[in-house]
Amino acid sequence: MRAKTLTKPQGILFDLDGTLLDTAKDLGETLNYVLSTLDMPSVSYEQYRPVASHGALGLLKLGLGENWQSYEVEKLRGIFLDYYLNNISTHTDFFAGMADTLEMLNQQNILWGVVTNKPAFLTDVLLTKYPEFKHSKINVSGDTLKVRKPDPQPLFHACKHMQIDPQQTWYVGDAFRDIEAGNRAGMQTFIANWGYTQDELPVEEWQADFIIEQPSDLVSIIK
């Protein structure tokens, strides 16, 4: 974590998959279901976990291999999304310490919300499974606006709704696009290094203000 002086934020925005919720196993098992319909070999947890935040298409590319374009990808994506919707919280839960961190934010009257690239029809169902999200002030999905991360507009949209200043807001995410969006919005950016952070660039080169190893690190910084 880089040393930097911070004031108490007006609000904190979070990415969803790989930051708040560990959705990798449900997404990976969905991929393996699709592969089973093609009589193709399944993908291991170790293989699909780093790709979990890349969405249905990213996972399908992983499972189908270098010849993925030779398949009916849109049809397979539809099968993927239908199966995932029906099994969306079978193995998913908060990362260790995250629920306690959100409760601490509630106690300190720090507003928080969710900005994800996940489609709204999935986000809206998933969040109803966890009562903690009733305290979220806004949930911005990948299709809420015409653009999504790394464009900063979803972050600006969330701040406007929450009536907070983007420059007094923190954004926490586990993908390079999260940090890029947060930086472009003028926010303090935090890499959730417990998430699905595999990328062509190592996290140290993402230009984040902080790299944090566990959710409780946010509590330490605020205090």
Q: Rounded to the nearest 10 degrees, how much is the dihedral formed by the CA atoms of 112, 117, 121, 127?
A: -30
Give the integer Cα–Cα distance in Å for 210 and 216.
14
> Each residue of 125-146: b (16+ CB within 10 Å) or e?
ebbeebeebeebebbbbbebee
Distance CA 44, CA 59 (A): 12
Beta strands in the chain (DSSP E): 11-14, 21-22, 93-94, 111-115, 139-140, 169-173, 188-192, 210-212
17 is catalytic: yes
Asked about 199 being catalytic, the answer comes back as: no
Structure tokens at 38: 């093609």
Q: From the candidates 15, 22, 26, 174, give the one annotated as an active-site residue.
A: 15
Only one residue has tokens 């999935």, namely 122
C-alpha distances (whole Å) from 40 to each of 63, 76, 219 are 8, 13, 45
Question: Amino acid identity, residue 172?
Answer: V
Nearest 5 degrees, angle CA 210-CA 145-CA 105?
Answer: 40
Cβ within 8 Å of residue 185, ≥6 positions away: 152, 155, 156, 159, 166, 169, 171
Kindly list the catalytic residues: 15, 17
